[in-house]
């Protein structure tokens, strides 16, 4: 054989990866084509991991039910709630779980706005629609108050035209932004809310997507 003769050889094909050999030389993409259930399992795993991360960080996902927080929050909107290092303060929108043996239908998460915290003096003039906390009249641009007056509702034990009370220690006074369509601390059915019953503060609206963002 001529020592100068060039010898040409065909390179050996690259062997498939071990994962492909394990599945009979099917590629990862082919596996998903043949067995679409793998894609659903991946989505499920991602969702479960996301839920675990959310709860481990003190976050909750809640849904609005009803119209008591109009115009700020709409029925069926989805919210993100956090209780990490939370201390109630005026203006916060919170989710709490009250317990009332006489009215069990209200023993579920409720969304309202904090109006006053422990030790503060709350006066509500139902006729003129004025709320005073520690002798300061609140400027509430966020409320819906048809006719400019609070309705007195005997069925909710709201029978006085003037509400006057001091918030007990460890409690908050809450009201819905839709003042004439909200059952809240003005009523003995709900009353003052123990801070330990607060699940967290609403800080983000998730859905609808076009309204995604911070809630105030």
Domain ranges of the chain: 18-56, 62-214
Q: Residue 39's pLDDT is what?
A: 73
Give tens-digit pLDDT for 164-184: 999 999 999 999 999 988 989
Q: Residue 101's pLDDT is what?
A: 75
Q: How far apart are CA 215 and CA 98, in angstroms?
A: 22
Q: pTM for this one?
A: 0.72
Q: Residue 26's pLDDT is what?
A: 44
Give tens-digit pLDDT for 99-123: 777 777 777 889 999 999 999 999 9
Q: Residue 108's pLDDT is what?
A: 85
Q: Residue 156's pLDDT is what?
A: 60
**Residues marked as catalytic:** 68, 112
Helices marked H in 35-149: 37-56
- For the 62-214 domain, the top CATH level (class) is mainly beta
* Tokens (6 digits) for 21: 């050999």
């Amino acid at each position: 054989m001529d020592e100068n003769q060039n010898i040409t050889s065909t390179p050996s094909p690259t062997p498939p990866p071990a994962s492909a050999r394990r599945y009979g030389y099917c590629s990862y993409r082919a596996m998903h084509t043949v067995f679409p259930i793998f894609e659903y399992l991946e989505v499920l795993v991602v969702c479960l991991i996301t839920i675990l991360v959310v709860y481990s960080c003190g976050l909750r996902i809640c849904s609005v039910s009803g119209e008591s927080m109009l115009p700020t929050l709409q029925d069926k909107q989805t919210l993100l709630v956090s209780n990490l290092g939370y201390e109630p303060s005026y203006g916060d929108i919170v989710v709490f779980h009250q317990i009332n043996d006489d009215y069990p239908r209200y023993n579920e998460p409720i969304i309202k706005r904090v109006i006053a915290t422990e030790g503060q003096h709350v006066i509500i003039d139902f006729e003129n629609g004025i709320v005073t906390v520690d002798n300061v009249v609140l400027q509430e641009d966020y409320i819906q108050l048809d006719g400019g007056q609070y309705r007195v509702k005997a069925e909710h034990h709201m029978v006085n035209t003037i509400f006057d009370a001091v918030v007990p220690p460890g409690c908050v006074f809450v009201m819905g932004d839709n003042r004439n369509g909200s059952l809240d601390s003005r009523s003995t059915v709900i009353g003052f809310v123990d801070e330990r019953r607060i699940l967290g503060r609403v800080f983000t609206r998730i859905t609808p997507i076009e309204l995604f963002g911070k809630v105030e």
